[in-house]
Structure formats: C-alpha cells, structure tokens
C-alpha cells in the first residue's frame, strides 16, 4: 500500500484569496524561506501555490486546503497542520467552520492469474447482478464510521493508475475523510483537531488491515 496524498480542508466564509502569495507565507513564518515555488496562481476567486516539495496551498472564499501530493518528501503530519493553523491565525476576521483530515491510499490489484479476490469483489454477494454482462466489475463502495471525535468517511474504488514513463495498472484506491463540524467560535478545538493529523495514520492503516484478504 502507498500513501498517495494527505491533505487538510477547512471550510470558511470571507476569505480573500488575493492575499495569499509566497511572500505572505514566508513573512508570517508559515512556511520556511527555503521552500522553492514551482507554480503560482493568484486570481480573485482562488489562489494556489505549489512548492517544489509538492506541497500545495489553495485559498478560496469558502475553503482553505493544504495538500501534500508526495507525502514522502516532507514531514506532512507536522508541516500541513502548521501551515493551515498559521493561515487561520493570520486571518482572524474570517469565519472558519468544519475541518476535514484526508488521506488517499492506493493498493495494486492482484494479477488476474493469482487466486485471490480484491476487497471489492469479495464484499459483494454473488448473484445475477454480477452476471448481467460478459464482464462485471465492482467499481466502488462507501462506508461511514462514527468515531469519538469525528465522522470517518471511507470510499473504496477501483482505478487505473498511469505511472510516469511506465505502463498503467489496476489499483484499489481508499479515500479517507475524518470530518468534524465546528462552530466559528471554537478556534482552540479546531486547532487541536488539526493537530491530530499525524495521529490518524496508524488509525487508518489499522482499519485497512480489515480490508486485506489473505
């Protein structure tokens, strides 16, 4: 299994995307000075900064998103919440609400020659719905778990992954979303929840063990 990306989303009201730029993040101590900007987009409806380490910061009027497109390149569990909390603290006039802690994990599908079912094929009960055509595949399924401090939404789907300069391959993709609603005044609780980002990794991989078929 591979952690494809990890990202935070904070719902907001009243953001001004044009205020977000690389100098703003450096001058406010939100990102290190040595982070190299790879791509920059600043427009009235959205601002987006992509760094060479594949961290992307996006600000829209109603949403703040901080994503690690290649989690292996940084300490994502520390850096992403730091950026998110830094931006929120710098814009005290903005009304912030719900938070989503998100992970994308991918797992290769066993070769057709192996006598092994994928989770999607295993969980669906056999019946005529699986024989409606010459070839039927279970493309996706969704789960929702109520945890003590969040709602965990999990989507499982079959996808084709195209590797750079390589062949495509069949994979199972797991999308995790730890969602929690907050009142706009619950700033401390929101910050504490964002700081649990790194703690979610063992939690979700423990759940994934239940999806692995021997």
Backbone angles phi, psi at 203, to 5 degrees: -65, -45
Beta strands in the chain (DSSP E): 2-13, 37-42, 46-51, 55-60, 63-68, 95-108, 140-146, 151-162, 168-180
Mean pLDDT, residues 16-25 taken together: 94
- Quick: pLDDT tens for 137-191: 667 889 999 999 999 999 988 887 777 777 777 788 899 999 999 999 999 999 9
Residue whose entry in the numeric block shows the structure tokens 């939404």: 153
Domain chopping of the chain, boundaries: 2-211
Give the model's confidence band at 214: pLDDT under 50 very low, under 70 low, under 90 confident, else very high. very low
Is residue 123 predicted with pLDDT exceeding 80? no
Give the model's confidence band at 121: pLDDT under 50 very low, under 70 low, under 90 confident, else very high. low
Residue 204 in tokens: 């979700």
- C-alpha 176/C-alpha 155 separation (Å) is 7
Residue whose entry in the numeric block shows the structure tokens 């996706």: 140
Is residue 213 predicted with pLDDT exceeding 70? no
- C-alpha 52/C-alpha 36 separation (Å) is 5
63 CB-side CA count, 13 A: 12
The pLDDT of residue 115: 46
- Quick: pLDDT tens for 77-119: 999 999 999 999 999 889 999 999 999 998 887 665 554 556 6
The pLDDT of residue 137: 64
Residue 170 in tokens: 């069949």
The pLDDT of residue 33: 95
Q: Are 20 and 57 in contact (CB under 8 A)?
A: yes
Going by C-alpha positions, the residue among 164, 190, 171 that lies closest to residue 179 is 190
pTM confidence score: 0.87
Mean pLDDT, residues 54-59 taken together: 98
Q: How many residues can be counted in the chain?
A: 214
For the chain, percent of residues with pLDDT exceeding 70: 85
CA angle 160-207-125, nearest 5°? 65
Residue whose entry in the numeric block shows the structure tokens 């929690």: 180
- C-alpha 101/C-alpha 124 separation (Å) is 28
């Amino acid at each position: 299994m591979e952690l494809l990306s990890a990202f935070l989303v904070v719902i907001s009201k009243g953001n001004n995307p044009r205020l977000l730029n690389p100098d703003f993040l450096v001058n406010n101590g939100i990102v290190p000075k040595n982070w190299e900007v790879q791509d920059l987009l600043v427009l009235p409806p959205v601002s987006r900064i992509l760094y060479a380490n594949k961290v992307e910061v996006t600000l829209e009027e109603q949403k703040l998103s901080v994503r690690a497109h290649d989690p292996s390149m940084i300490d994502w569990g520390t850096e992403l919440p730091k950026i998110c909390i830094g931006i929120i603290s710098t814009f005290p006039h903005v009304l912030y609400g719900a938070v989503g802690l998100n992970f994308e994990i991918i797992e290769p599908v066993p070769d057709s020659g192996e006598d092994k079912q994928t989770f999607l094929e295993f969980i669906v009960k056999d019946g005529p719905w699986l024989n409606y055509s010459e070839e039927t595949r279970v493309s996706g399924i969704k789960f929702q778990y109520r945890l003590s401090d969040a709602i965990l939404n999990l989507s499982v789907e079959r996808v084709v992954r195209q590797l750079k300069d390589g062949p495509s391959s069949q994979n199972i993709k797991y999308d995790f979303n730890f969602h929690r609603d907050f009142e706009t005044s619950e700033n401390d609780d929101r910050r504490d929840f964002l700081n649990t980002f790194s703690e979610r990794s063992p939690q979700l991989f423990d759940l994934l063990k239940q999806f692995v078929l021997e």
